[in-house]
Structure 1
Amino acid sequence: MPQPAKLALEDGTVFTGNSIGAPGETDGEVCFNTSMTGYQEVLTDPSYHGQIVTMTYPMIGNYGASDADAESSKPQVAGFVVRENSRLASNFRSEQSLGDYLKHHGVVAIDGIDTRALVRRLRSTGALRGVLSTTDLNDDSLVAKAKASPGLVGRDLVSEVTPQESLAWSQPLSAWTNLDGSGDSASGEGPHVVALDFGMKWNIPRHFAGRGCRVTVVPGATSAADILAREPDGVFLSNGPGDPEPVGYAIGTVRELVGQKPIFGICLGHQLLSLACGAKTYKMKFGHRGANHPVQDLTTGKVEITCQNHGFAVDPESLPAELKVTHRSLNDDSVEGVSHTGSAKDGAPAFSVQYHPEASAGPHDSHYLFERFMAAIRG
């Protein structure tokens, strides 16, 4: 007999379904992802920390779960919502079913609800705080808890996912993530990239390692002096969860690094670079989360199909003179990339994009950004 579960939103809406994960209760901002596949990458992306993620595709779990598909050491989502969880995992790489994976890692999850109605509500009202529970099934109680949930604005979620110690990246580039023909490679003896980990997806250092780089991953709170003491050829600013403005320590570090070494930022790293240069960010209505977002490179006119996962964006009206917009979303014209014009003149260019080039949505559309960074490192 399926165990009942409920999802309650702060606006009073309650959805009743079945538990497909671990028993318990969790709260977070309820958002949605429009990808048809890649649910394990979504589950393990640290950028989703603090969020209950709804998948819009109606059936999830049909190819099971595999350790090789993880983007971090464990699932990072606060909770998981699907229309129908496939009980049959049909894939030669599958190691366990999605339900078993969720239970093993203690993720509270629900299926059997009208995810289309949920997503339409989120699109109309914006992302909402919610509570997902298998233990408390009282509607009034759950709605009250949802209203009391802290949400994302003003919280430093980076400190909850960043590593405590530095490490040398040694995981080889997996054959199924290597789309450049560069061959499997562990972290090499080439240029030294120091990656500030604010909640970094593992496929990012894989891309650097696949290009022969020696990659050192450091906690997001590492100072500029400590980073420069490692004598990097380039500095990478990773993705991460939540509101970028409370992460003041990282903003200060990036401000000190601009012009010192070539800098490349992705997602939260893009927002932190912009904030460090004097721009502002804002909370989006329901964010961009999916694998088919069109973005135009303004320097070439080309359109890229991109993977995205962010609920905050850079305010274009706040950009200082030295930041140039390089990429725009073709869905809502939001800023998707910037470059620091002054740092390029100093021989240490800094640039960033809001989307995820390592996720290979095109699949090759955005890989030129890694090559651009490598060219900057090599001078």
Structure 2
Amino acid sequence: MTSTAPIAPPASAVPQGPAVLVLEDGKRYEGRAYGATGHTLGEVVFSTGMTGYQETLTDPSYAGQIVLMTAPHIGNTGVNNIDMESRKIWVSGFIVRDPARRVSNFRAERSLDEDLNSDGVVGISGVDTRAITRVIRSAGAMRAGVFSGADYELSVDEQLKLVREQESMEGKNLSAAVTTLERYEVPVAAGVERLGTIAVLDLGIKRATVQYLSEHGFDVVVLPASTTLAQMRELAPDALFFSNGPGDPAASDEQVELLREMLRDGVPYFGICFGNQLLGRALGFSTYKLPFGHRGINQPVLDKRTGRVEITAQNHGFAVDLPIEGEHDSPAGLGRVQVSHYSLNDQVVEGLECLDIAAFSVQYHPEAAAGPHDAFYLFDRFRQLVKNRAAAESGAKENN
């Protein structure tokens, strides 16, 4: 078991009580409490984004995870209501090196630590985030806990026991915890040609995604993750979308079966992040857990169709298990499939394209909230796919 001394906070920073980050391998990192106090448990992961911490914190895909920011200075732009990607902060815990001593941005409405406190998010500051990142990159994402306040006084053995007794992210289904409780609708944006109705299965969706689907011609119907095949068919959507979300795709059999049957019905499909992994499973392929995943807004991806390199926003710890070259027959009988995008860092599958049905997906976040806009064209590509499908069906009816 190793231990490191805390990094001294700036002299002008507001002093806070002690806190400790405990990893399941026994490593301990002493620091200062940041946000709420108490203790929290989760899978510790790192995000490489230098900006966009508010979008990260409010992204439901991070549920169950203690997020470490590799950028050293966090909180200087504060937080505001416009940049919220959902109704609250979802991370289980938050790790930063140097929290901002003051907010300095004209858009700020509150400080970051105010939101961490109000949402009960236990965090830690003043630790060597670079050293912790190197540990995660070598050993892989692991279970961890942050302890502060009265829970800081727990013995070393008690803290480590709590960390090791928690469930692993593998096999965990978190969709029910983050999905909308009730169906809601967002009409097509004003001045945009209506293309049809799109059913969105909310597995942890971000607000920006719904907004952009609306702006691309869809009446958006957002549905709970528990939506059944009968309910989906009763809606009879013109297109289908599965969102990003947390958890293990291997633990989402009901959503996989729903998607497989809708694909057999011929409904055009677009999925992102978790929706990419579920498409892989619906097609009959398997998924696996990455050592430490991809998180941040600077992940390079190659689009095989164009040869263009895109810088993308990502947050995933699982991936589809498929060779990146060649065409593959769907074991579920849904035709030929190819990998459309892959990571330039480690050749992980970053996109799937079906060649015989109207469906494709990507592993990253084209809505770029926060992040680059390199992949925003995918919304246009999906719009064209739906239009082509509608035109083909119309032509077939006329010929008959």
| CA positional deviation for 1:202 | 1.1
The aligned counterpart of 2:198 is 193
Deviations 1:358-378, CA, capped at 9 Å, x for gaps: 116773321111011111222
Question: What is the TM-score when the length of structure 2 is the normalising length?
Answer: 0.87
The aligned counterpart of 2:255 is 250
2:207 aligned with 1:202 = yes
CA distance in 1, matches of 2:246, 2:93: 15
CA distance in 1, matches of 2:51, 2:191: 27
2:132 aligned with 1:118 = yes
- Identity across aligned pairs (percent)? 46
Q: Which has the larger radius of gyration?
A: 2
Q: Which runs of 4+ in 1 moved over 6 A?
A: none
The 5-angstrom pairing of residues 53-132 of structure 1 reads: 53-132=67-146
CA contact (8 A) 1:185 1:212 kept: no
CA distance in 2, matches of 1:81, 1:186: 43
| CA positional deviation for 1:228 | 2.5
CA distance in 2, matches of 1:62, 1:186: 37
Cα distance change of structure 1 residues 123 and 104 upon mapping to structure 2, 3 Å threshold = same
Cα distance change of structure 1 residues 71 and 148 upon mapping to structure 2, 3 Å threshold = same
Structure 1 gap ranges (5+) = 173-183, 344-348
The aligned counterpart of 1:227 is 232
Deviations 1:265-293, CA, capped at 9 Å, x for gaps: 00000000110110000000000001111
CA contact (8 A) 2:175 2:245 kept: yes
Give the count of matched residue pairs: 362
Question: Residue 309 of structure 1 is aligned with which of 291, 302, 315?
Answer: 315
| CA positional deviation for 1:199 | 0.6
Deviations 1:43-99, CA, capped at 9 Å, x for gaps: 011110000000000000000001111111000000000001102111111011111
Measured on the aligned residues, the alpha-carbon RMSD in Å equals 1.8
The 5-angstrom pairing of residues 271-286 of structure 1 reads: 271-286=277-292
Secondary structure at the residue paired with 2:16? coil
CA contact (8 A) 1:87 1:97 kept: no
2:162 aligned with 1:150 = no
Deviations 1:312-340, CA, capped at 9 Å, x for gaps: 00111596442211111111011100112
2:161 aligned with 1:162 = no
2:38 aligned with 1:24 = yes
The aligned counterpart of 2:25 is 11
CA distance in 2, matches of 1:237, 1:187: 23
Question: What is the TM-score when the length of structure 1 is the normalising length?
Answer: 0.92
| CA positional deviation for 1:307 | 0.5
CA distance in 2, matches of 1:230, 1:152: 33
Letter in 1 for 2:75: G
CA distance in 1, matches of 2:359, 2:380: 14
CA distance in 1, matches of 2:48, 2:371: 15
Structure 2 gap ranges (5+) = 1-14, 331-335, 389-400
The aligned counterpart of 1:46 is 60
Letter in 2 for 1:276: A
CA distance in 2, matches of 1:165, 1:201: 16
CA distance in 2, matches of 1:189, 1:341: 26
CA distance in 2, matches of 1:278, 1:161: 26
Say which is worse superposed, 315-324 or 94-103, in terms of deviation.
Answer: 315-324
Deviations 1:122-153, CA, capped at 9 Å, x for gaps: 00100010011113223222112111111200
The aligned counterpart of 1:180 is none
CA distance in 2, matches of 1:341, 1:361: 31
